[in-house]
Amino acid sequence: MSIPVVTVGAANEAVVDGLERLHGPVTVVRRCSELTELLAACQSGLALAAIVGDGSEELTTTLVDRLGAVGVCVVALTDSEDEARRLRSIGVVAASADIEPVVLAAEISRAVERTSSYGQADGPRSTGFAAPAADSPTAPQPEEAMAETSGSGRIFAVWGPAGAPGRTLLAVNMAAELAADGQSVILVDADSYGASVSAMLGLLDESAGLAQACRLADQGLLDIEALTAAASEVFTKAGSFRVLTGTTRADRWTELRAAALTLVLERARQLADVVVIDTGFCLEADEELTFDTLAPRRNASTLCSLELADVVFAVGSADAIGVPRLVRGLAELELVVQQASPRVVLNKVKRSAVGYAPEQQLAEAWSRYGPAFGIEAYIPSDPEACDAALLSGSVLLECAPDSDLRRAIAGLVCAPVHQKRHSFGRTARAPRRLKR
């Protein structure tokens, strides 16, 4: 079958003419005058590949992801080494502007093959867009681009249903404990509904480091230095960790597109031993918003974080509202992120909400109504320690080092032997200082 392609860019028409003269594996079905026209043609199902003859600078991760969502791979012609590198990092096949048509046709065939086999693979790599059909292939990602960005750090996603079960408190303090344990850590605030990591850490930062990093990733410009610059550094008495702050204005959620966030998280894996993500609560895959035919998803940042996570901590409030919510949320999680195998954490455990011997009562209720996997940890309620931390913009290892709450959170991510090593006076209340 001849591969239908659409093209844009007048500067390299000769290459496209050459392709047509091959009368072979590739058929040029439309020559577009601009990228928006090319996108519309691809969305109508006209082509399997798009050739960007010139003006490749306008290609972004989001646009490539959009095309990938409708099963179209992108090949761009450029003579610049830097631009070719940038293009590859956003999933575009870069070819030289004077490429022989027959070689270009072969490149296109290979790219199309990769895209279609990617679509058949069952591993989920979500695009930032609501797919128009359930069986739409997902974004093509050349192996070399993945290899360029894959690091060895682990990703811990902290998720939990609605009702403020303590996702942020856990994520922030896990990051602090891991840093105190000597690991390099980057904390990412990917909650597209209520980013609050910077408030919890007393950061004065309003620049939404994660949005900045996503913007650079979208343009294919996010290297380690750029990621480091977008992150704030937080110092505690026991170590420091980096933070990509979230978008505090509700209307900025569209800046956290899955395709760009995926690149940010892959880059973060290269920068740190552990990437801790504070996610949003909502797992709905679709929204009724429509932009063009493919809608950016508000929950894309949460879903993408959960898909990429090596470990998902599922946090619920230990009370009559929080536990059933968590049980329902876990069922939903299993449907949308099948590989997640979450570690269940019940937070704010207290007698007044559950009754005598709360852990036992919760375990019994869980064995009757909960999913097959058990509760991994019970985190005690300690409003005093939490309020003190919030008031001083500090972490528990500084403001409540000997509390059971701090120990229980540390126990989730560090070996017990390390938890005792760092114990600091209760007077340590230094607010975080920002270093860029």
d(CA 377, CA 79): 56
Beta carbon of residue 194, minimum distance to Mg ion (angstroms, whole number)? 6
Among 358, 356, 398, 393, which Cα is nearest to 379's? 358
Binding partner selected for residue 160 from Mg ion, ligand ATP, none, CB under the kind-specific 5 to 8 Å limit: ligand ATP
Binding partner selected for residue 348 from ligand ATP, Mg ion, none, CB under the kind-specific 5 to 8 Å limit: ligand ATP
Taking the mean position of all CA atoms in its chain, how far away is CA 402? 34
Binding residue (CB under 6 A) for ligand ATP from 127, 196, 247, 262: 196
Residue 411 as a binder of ligand ATP (CB under 6 A): the answer is no
Rule CB under 5 A: which of 148-167 touch Mg ion? Answer: 167
Specify the residue, 37 or 404, whose C-beta has the smaller distance to ligand ATP: 404
Beta carbon of residue 302, minimum distance to Mg ion (angstroms, whole number)? 11
Rule CB under 5 A: which of 193-252 touch Mg ion? Answer: 196
Among 59, 266, 313, 299, which Cα is nearest to 150's? 266
Binding partner selected for residue 381 from Mg ion, ligand ATP, none, CB under the kind-specific 5 to 8 Å limit: ligand ATP
Please give the size of the binding site for Mg ion, defined by CB under 5 A. 3
Residue 77's H or E segment, with its range, is strand 73-77
Please give the size of the binding site for ligand ATP, defined by CB under 6 A. 20
Binding residue (CB under 5 A) for Mg ion from 138, 168, 198, 262: 168
Binding partner selected for residue 40 from Mg ion, ligand ATP, none, CB under the kind-specific 5 to 8 Å limit: none
d(CA 111, CA 141): 9
d(CA 337, CA 334): 6
Binding residue (CB under 6 A) for ligand ATP from 242, 257, 348, 432: 348
Specify the residue, 351 or 436, whose C-beta has the smaller distance to ligand ATP: 351
Beta carbon of residue 211, minimum distance to ligand ATP (angstroms, whole number)? 17
Binding residue (CB under 6 A) for ligand ATP from 6, 104, 139, 169: 169
Q: Tell me 182's DSSP state.
A: T
Distances (CA, A) of 280 to 284, 300, 305: 11, 10, 10
Helices marked H in 44-100? 61-69, 81-89
Rule CB under 6 A: which of 369-398 touch ligand ATP? Answer: 379, 381-383, 386, 390
Distances (CA, A) of 184 to 72, 85, 120, 152, 271: 38, 28, 36, 12, 8
And the tokens for 164?
């403020």
Number of H helices, E strands in the chain: 19, 13
Specify the residue, 66 or 167, whose C-beta has the smaller distance to Mg ion: 167
d(CA 113, CA 106): 11
Specify the residue, 87 or 197, whose C-beta has the smaller distance to ligand ATP: 197
Taking the mean position of all CA atoms in its chain, how far away is CA 24? 41
And the tokens for 152?
């060895």
Beta carbon of residue 197, minimum distance to ligand ATP (angstroms, whole number)? 9
Binding residue (CB under 6 A) for ligand ATP from 160, 220, 246, 393: 160
d(CA 36, CA 49): 15
- Contact positions toward ligand ATP, by CB under 6 A? 160, 164-169, 191, 194, 196, 281, 347-348, 379, 381-383, 386, 390, 405
